[in-house]
Structure 1
Amino acid sequence: MAKLSSSEKKRVHYARLLFQNPALIVLEEPDQNVDNVTKHVFQKLVGMLADSGKALLILTGNMETALSVTDRIYRLDDKGLKAFDVAKPEASEASEAPEVPEVPEVPKLPKAPETKEAQEAPIGHAELEPSDDYDGEERDNEEGGEREQIVQFVRFEKIPTRMNDKIILFNPPEIDYIESGEGQSYLYVNGESFPASFKINELEDRLRSYGFFRCHRSYIVNLQKVREVVTFTRNSYSLVLDDVRKSSVPLSKTKMAELKEMMGIK
């Protein structure tokens, strides 16, 4: 054991769990400071234990670790225990589409001989009066169209972020601020950053009605989280947030004037 690396020792620890065979397993930071091989072994171990009916409780401060082994994630902070809304991306429709069985060709029946009356009848156009069933179908189509229009106005409030092969959905009030750099936007929630699926301009449009403010070309802030406006120089400002890290985000001069107008400050 003394000659083993820290990652190899961790794998031995995993093996001991299999021999002990407990009904409940509690692990704290199980893949911290280990190599990728050990992380892969840990993920397979969790899957094996879960399939065998074991109960596992994993305590970690690393969101990536949590997402790599489960979809049931809870965050414990000063506001209590809260479940994360995690969803796996849907598979493509083509891969999920069921195979359509081939329909056998129906043999053609011999054509019945035409009667003398049918041969002598003139060819023309018949005008059909709309029946009651037709009117009902038309009304159903109109009502269906109205229902379709109503569905189109349903608003999806949550903001999706992607980590590994999973999607995490955040309610707008959970977000402290948004930062953009090198074409990628990041949502900051309780001191952690999550890569967003939208560009910063799209996020600005989506979150404006929830009290978010574009304080800088690279930042959007949740005004409900702002605790203090700091003036460094005549043209340099900053917003201090009431989050776990007391984060500070820049406020441009032009946006300062806009913010004052919003708050009714002269």
Structure 2
Amino acid sequence: MWKAEEHNYNILYIQSDFEVSGMDEIRVSEVIGKENGQAIAFEPGEAAVIQMPVGYINRIADMVKSSQSTFLLESSMPSYNRLTVREQLRFIAKWHGSELKVENIIRQYKLEPWKKTHLSKCTEEVIQRMGYIHAMMSSQKNILAVDPLHSATVDNIHLFHKALQQMKRTGKAMVIITQSTEEAFVLSPDIYKLNDQGLKPVATDDTSEEPNVKLKRLKAKYQDKTIFIDLEDIEYIESSEGKVLINISREKFVMDGTLAQIDEDLRSYGFYRCHRSYIVNLEKVKEIISWSKNTYSVVMDNPEKTKIPLSRTKYNEIQELLMHH
């Protein structure tokens, strides 16, 4: 059995057989529809964060729905709209036999202004927060979280991190699946990717260098056309599935070359490689957020407030660059 290196609360077991004593698992072959010897195991007190296509996410969610040992945390959790926030939490605690104190949870998860409000009148932010708490209070030891940060506010991202830490301490086993690489990196500096070839860790160290080539504009492809993009319009550049993509106002353009080469080309133009898979335009950076001692994000100044992963070793350097840029 191969065990991924431990970092913070991200751990994954990839196995060559399916004999796991005392642990449930998700067989990769059943997800991707082809022969594969890997499996994702729910490991008590740990969490694995995996990016995958939406089709695989739906397949895994359907598989887990029939499991008695696994709690499925989705963006829309069942609730009784006639109950208030406090009444719903009391109901959940009683149903699952949770020893967590409802009043403490209300305070910790910033629900005091809403505790007497009926769920039908609560905001999406509050409803999402209630889902996090439901998972934490559940009697099931395994938690499958599906896109838990979808449309999440900064407060909710912090609170999901809090919920993760609390579930770790109680020995719950967590697998978090998301279609967004950026959201996966918000949850952990070490993530995995699932595609039709199986599971693989996403590398996060920067080890390669390419020759220096200076450019004023970048050449990219859009459908069957070749276009030239002004550097000042670029928000960030990412490497995904073997392709290098330029991101501008919700659009992605494919370009030739490696991220290492582009990093070298653009370094003197106000671009910074904040992560092995990402280069950001420093002019487009709005803020830096620390989610935990090992997990950071660069927030872009766009309508989506895109959160780009920031390597721990580059946290201080990018702050210096932003102060003097």
- Note whether the superposition's TM-score is higher than 0.5: no
Task: Determine which structure has greater relative contact order: mean sequence separation of CA pairs < 8 Å that are 6+ residues apart, divided by chain length.
Answer: 2
TM-score, length basis structure 2: 0.33
